[in-house]
Structure 1
Amino acid sequence: MNDKLFDAIRNGDLETIKSITTAHPELVNIKDQRGSTPLLLASYYGNQDITEELLKHNPDIDAKDGSGNTALMGVCFKGYPVIAKLLIKHGADVNAVNLNNATALIYAATFAQAEIAQLLVNQGANTSHKDDKGNTAYDHAKMQGAKDLMEILKE
């Protein structure tokens, strides 16, 4: 059943996901071999409908994959602002850190996601947090030459 759920997410099969999660709501918190939950995977793939469906079953919104990344972090490097808003609306921690001590805001800056960075800042993301290399989100924006992000992130 677990593989069937993850396959349905990868294939964008919303009806199968609805069927599985209705019959087995506990499966919303299972993990695949990489440590991803269904929510992490659906949001990383940018599938808004599936993300919304999974959120109906109250998954662990801040569950972390094998690298310590949350669903919110994943949408920050992929660039899905609508899904970022959904996750935040459902209580995602904007200041969660992964194994590299990086945050969603650091990823938004690293991958030049200005709209998401602004959203995170508006939701109280810590702009002075430093990753394992001692860089803040502003430092990452500067390395990318992203002047719009630098403006959002300046203290």
Structure 2
Amino acid sequence: MNSESPANNSAPDDETLALAHALFDAAREGNSAVLGSYLAAGVPATLTNAAGDSLLMLAAYHGHAGTVRLILDHGGDANVPNDRGQTPLAGAVFKGYTDVARELLAAGADPDAGTPSARAAAQMFARTDILDLLD
């Protein structure tokens, strides 16, 4: 007998998918008001999309330090890579977002995690201001 219920085997419904897409968009856009409401209501800060990008990864990669802090404050993990092995810190370094890098480092982000690591990205793109933070 299968111990899994049918609900556990089904794909999310259209309404759930639409909400998830709206949350990923809010993270990309730095819309902390919308995202904060849902996080406060219990949406997991560790939510990921089909590519493994977390809310934190999307906010970091798009340079939204305040939204990064919000997600971290609600349980986001600064060291979880996406499906390509990229971490939020490496994304912020790649894009040159020093303020986002500071937030992630303050939350314990490992500059040597991921592929490429944040340290390697900083060296590759001559982000000396961020390299100084990593040492």
**Same-fold status (TM-score > 0.5):** yes
Equivalent runs, 1:55-134 vs 2, <5 Å:
55-98=72-115, 102-121=116-135
Secondary structure of the 2:85 match is coil
TM-score (norm 2): 0.81
Using the aligned pairs only, state the percent identity. 32
Residue-pair matches, total: 117
Aligned partners of 1:25 and 1:57 also within 8 Å: no
Q: TM-score, normalised by structure 1?
A: 0.71
Q: Secondary structure at the match of 2:34?
A: helix
Structure 1, residues 30-79: CA drift from partner, whole Å, max 9, x if none?
11122100000001000111111111112121111121011011011100
Select 1:44's aligned residue among 35, 48, 61.
61
Q: CA distance change for structure 1 residues 14 and 97 in 2, over 3 Å: closer, same or farther?
A: closer
Match of 2:34 among 3, 11, 16: 16
Matches within 5 A, 1:22-37: 22-26=40-44, 28-37=45-54
Q: Please say if residues 78 and 88 of structure 2, whose CA atoms lie closer than 8 Å, have aligned partners that are also in contact.
A: yes
- Which ranges in structure 2 are unaligned for 5 or more consecutive residues? 1-18
CA distance in 2, matches of 1:59, 1:9: 12
Deviation at 1:109, TM superposition (A): 1.2
Q: CA RMSD in A?
A: 1.2
- Whether the 8 Å CA contact 2:93–2:118 is kept in 1: the answer is yes
Report the CA distance between 1:97 and its aligned residue.
2.7
Please say if residues 29 and 38 of structure 1, whose CA atoms lie closer than 8 Å, have aligned partners that are also in contact: yes
- Where does structure 1 lack aligned partners over 5 or more consecutive residues? 122-155
In structure 2, what residue type is equivalent to 1:84?
A
Supply the AA of the counterpart residue of 1:16: V
Does the 8 Å CA contact 1:44/1:74 hold for their aligned counterparts?
A: yes
Deviation at 1:25, TM superposition (A): 4.1
Matches within 5 A, 1:136-155: none
